[in-house]
Chain A
Amino acid sequence: MINKTFVISVMSKDRPGIIADIATVIYGLGGDLADLNQSVLGGYFTMILIAEFDKKVSKKILMDEFGAIESETTIEAIVKEIDLDSEVLVQILPAETYILTAQGDNRKGLVKVLGDFFFKRNINVLDLVTTKLNERYTMIFQVDLTEVASMKVLREELDLLAKFETLEVVLQHNDIYMATNEVGMSLDVSIRNK
C-alpha cells in the first residue's frame, strides 16, 4: 500500500498532556512520526510535525480525531498532505550556513529590517529565534549565504545597516558556533567534507 505524508501543525494554550494527546491520535491511526519541532511561546504550545500514514488515512480523519480530543483547552490543528520523498526529509545544512545575531532597544519593525535585508540579497533564512528581555530585543537568524558573491561586501553592508538602525550585528559562520559548543564535532573531518 502506498503511504501518505502529512505536515501537522498544532496550537493550544499550554498545559500538561498535549504531546500525549497528539501522539495518541497519531499512534491510534497507525502513523509513523518523522521530524518534529515544539516550543512554548507566551504561554501557548505550538508544534509542527511530519508523520506518515497508511493510504486510507485522510486529512478529514485526522482533523476529526484531533477535534475529538477531550481537553479543557482548545487544540487547533492544521493538516496538509505533502508529496515528500524520504531523501528530502533529511535536512543537511548548506556549507555556507551562517548565524546572524542582531540586538538593540526594542521597537516595531526590527525583524522586518533584517527580513528585507536578506530578501534583497537572495539570502534564505533557515531558522529564526527572537527574544525580548527588559526592552532589549535579540534576533538570531540562521541563514544560507550560498548566493552571496562577496563576504567582504556583505559585511560592509551589514556594518552600515547596524549603524543606521542602531543595532549590534554579528555575523559568524555556523561552524564557529558548532566548534565552540559541540564537544564531539571533529574539526578536521568537518572541514575535509565541505
Chain B
Amino acid sequence: MRYLKKFIFIFLALSILFLSSCGSEKKKTDGEITVKFWHSFISSSVPALKDLIAKFEEQNPGIKIDAQYIPSGDALIQKLVTAVQSKTAPDISWLHSDYIEALVEADAIYKMEHFINGEDGISQEDLNDIYPALRQFASWKGTLYSLPMEATNLGLMYNKDLFKKAGLDPNHPPKDWQELIEFSKKLTIDKNGDGTSEQVGFFVPIFPAAGPLGSWMVWQFMPFLWQAGGDFVNVEQTSVLYNSDEGVKALELWQQLYRDQNLKNFTNLFENAFVSGNLAMALDGPWNLPRYKDLLKNIDWAFAPLPAGPFKSATVVGGEYLAIFKQSEHPDAAWKFLKWMIQPDIQAFWSIKSGYLPIRHAVLNVPEFQKYLDENPNFKVFVEQMEVGQAQRPIDYGGLEISRHLAEAIENATTGNADVKKSLNESAVKSNKILTSSKK
C-alpha cells in the first residue's frame, strides 16, 4: 500500500510537470499586451504580413501581435478544435468560412455585434461598405461571427505566346463558354498522335474527390454553376440545387472540355505545365501574382475575367476571415486589430503588399491604390471582377460532406466519363439525406 501511494504521488507529480511544460506561458512586460494571431499565409505572403503587423504596432503602442503560422486546410481546423478543448486558443485566428460552424457550436468565438455595438464600435455604413458576398461568408445563420481580412476571386490565366502560335488574337481571351471550347480545341496539340497531348488548351481542375484538393475543385466549379444560372443549395437548406438543368449544363461543359482535350492523360500539376509552355489557359487567383512575377518571367502571359456563361458572368469570391476567441484574455486589443484592419487605407496597403483583393468598395477611392491598379492590369482584372463576384451560401450543417459528394459527381463525370445527369442526381440524393437528417 505504501508503495502504491508513493507511486501515485510520483505519477501525479510527473504528469503535472509534463502537462505544465506543454502549456504556453505569457510573459508580460510593463503593461504591454501580446495578441496571439494564428494564420496560414503561404510563405510568399509572409513578408507582407510582417510589414502589416509592424505598421499596426507602430500605430498602436502597447499592443504586440504575435503571428504564428499553422499549416492551412485540415491542419488549421484540427489545431483550433484541440486548442479550444485544451484552453490554449489564440486571441485571433485567420480562418476559412466553413470552419465557423464548428467554432460557433463549440461556443469558441465572439459574435461581432459584441464589439460593433460596443464603445469602440464601427458604424453600419462602414460595415455595409464590405462586399456583400464576404459579409455573408463571414456569418453563420445570418449572424456575423468574423470580419474579412482579404478577398480573392478566380480569373483566367492565359499564355499569349501560345495564342499567337495557334493563330488567335493574344488580346482576345475567350469571352464566353463557346469561345472557351473553341480556343481550347485550337490550343490542344498531340504531335505524335499517341493520345497524350503535349500541349493543352484549358486545364479543367480535376482532383481526387476525397483528397485534400477535393473541396478546392468544388470551389472552382461554383462560378460555372452560377454562370449557367444554377445554385448550390436552396434558401431553406432542405435540398441541393446543383443537380438542376443548369448544374447539368455546367458539368457538361467541364466534361466536354475534359474529353475534347484528353485531360485524363495530362498532368494535374497545372502550374508546371503552364510554366513550361504546355498549357495555354488555367483558372487561378490573385494570391499567386507576387510569385508569378518571377516564375513566369519568360512567358508573355495575362489574366482575364472568367468567360461568361449562357446566363451571366460570375466568379467565385473567397476570402479569409478573422475571428476573436472567447478564451482570449485581451478581446478588446484583438478587436482593435480587426477594426484597424478593415480601414480603407490599411486595406489598400495590405492589398498592394500581399496581392490579395480589398474587402470593401471604399478602397477604390484611395489614390495610391488607384495608381497601383493602373500600373498592374492583371491585378485590376480581379478587382473589377469583384462586381460579379458571388459566394457560396454557407451551409449550416454538414457543408464539408455535401461538398465531397459534389466532388465525387464531378470526378465521376470527368475522370470516370459517367453520365452527367446521373452522377449529379446520385450525389444529390446523398447530400439531401444529410440536409434532411440535420433538420431533425
Q: Do A and B bind each other?
A: no
